[in-house]
């Protein structure tokens, strides 16, 4: 198995499938997660081949665009990796990461067990934070037809995946329901350091947003 060939083919497969997508779950999201996962994986001494395959394929079929079905992405990833003759144990590892990588509610514990999975999950969560995370939140909220903010709708703590995926709250509430929680959910030491700065930026942004909402400053 030529690892460079596998990675190159996988990169092109994902790019062709996700290029031009407008909700923040596009090829460039995958590209950033991939690059960040490599950076974190090197620091954490993870298997970079598994890390890269999982990072590249993690959003090949996001459950948010498949009626909440989180089995689609692992299935498509498995079909692709089998097609290019990746070893079975690597395929199983990658597909397990893909199935469990997503945030599924404040009260839902992550099922990620391996170092490689933790690295990819951290890289994916970092892309939901900071300046890019804010941009992605509003892009997705607009796609779903959500209000930007409504002070009469309070944030929720989703205890189950079903509650989380069926919620239709505002984009600002998403900061409280997910984005502000991510800093403390990082798995690796490397990601925790990066998350601190991105978390602080989001807090500053939201403080400014709420002041302007009330006509201040």
- pLDDT band at 109, cuts 50/70/90? confident
User: Which region holds residue 62: left if phi is over 0, alpha if psi is between -120 and 50, else beta?
Assistant: beta
pTM: predicted TM-score of the whole model, two decimal places: 0.92
Is CATH 1.10.357.10 what the domain over 3-213 is classified as, yes or no? no
Q: Using the structure block, give the residue that is written with the tokens 């925790």.
A: 192
Q: What is the pLDDT of residues 13-23, one digit of tens each?
A: 999 999 888 78
Contact (CB, 8 A) for 152 and 84: no
Contact (CB, 8 A) for 186 and 122: yes
- Is 168 a residue whose pLDDT tops 90? no
Q: What is the pLDDT of residues 45-54, one digit of tens each?
A: 999 999 999 9
Two tokens, residue 52: 């890269």
Contact (CB, 8 A) for 37 and 116: no
Two tokens, residue 41: 């994986």
Q: What is the pLDDT of residues 78-94, one digit of tens each?
A: 999 999 999 999 999 99
**How far does the chain reach from its first CA to its final CA, in angstroms?**
60
Q: What average pLDDT does range 140-168 have in this prediction?
A: 87
């Amino acid at each position: 198995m030529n690892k460079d060939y596998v990675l190159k083919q996988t990169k092109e497969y994902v790019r062709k499938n996700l290029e031009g997508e407008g909700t923040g779950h596009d090829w460039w999201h995958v590209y950033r997660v991939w690059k960040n996962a490599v950076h974190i994986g090197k620091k954490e001494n993870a298997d970079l081949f598994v890390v890269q395959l999982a990072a590249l394929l993690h959003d090949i079929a996001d459950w948010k665009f498949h009626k909440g079905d989180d089995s689609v992405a692992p299935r498509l990833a498995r079909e692709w990796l089998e097609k290019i003759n990746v070893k079975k144990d690597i395929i199983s590892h990658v597909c397990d990461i893909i199935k469990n990588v997503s945030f599924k509610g404040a009260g839902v514990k992550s099922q990620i067990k391996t170092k490689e999975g933790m690295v990819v999950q951290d890289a994916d969560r970092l892309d939901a934070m900071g300046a890019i995370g804010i941009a992605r939140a509003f892009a997705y909220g607009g796609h779903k037809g959500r209000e930007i903010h409504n002070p009469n709708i309070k944030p929720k703590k989703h205890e189950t995946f079903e509650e989380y995926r069926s919620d239709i709250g505002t984009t600002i509430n998403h900061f409280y329901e997910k984005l502000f929680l991510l800093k403390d959910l990082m798995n690796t030491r490397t990601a925790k350091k990066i998350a601190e700065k991105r978390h602080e930026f989001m807090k500053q942004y939201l403080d400014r947003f709420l002041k302007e909402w009330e006509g201040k400053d």
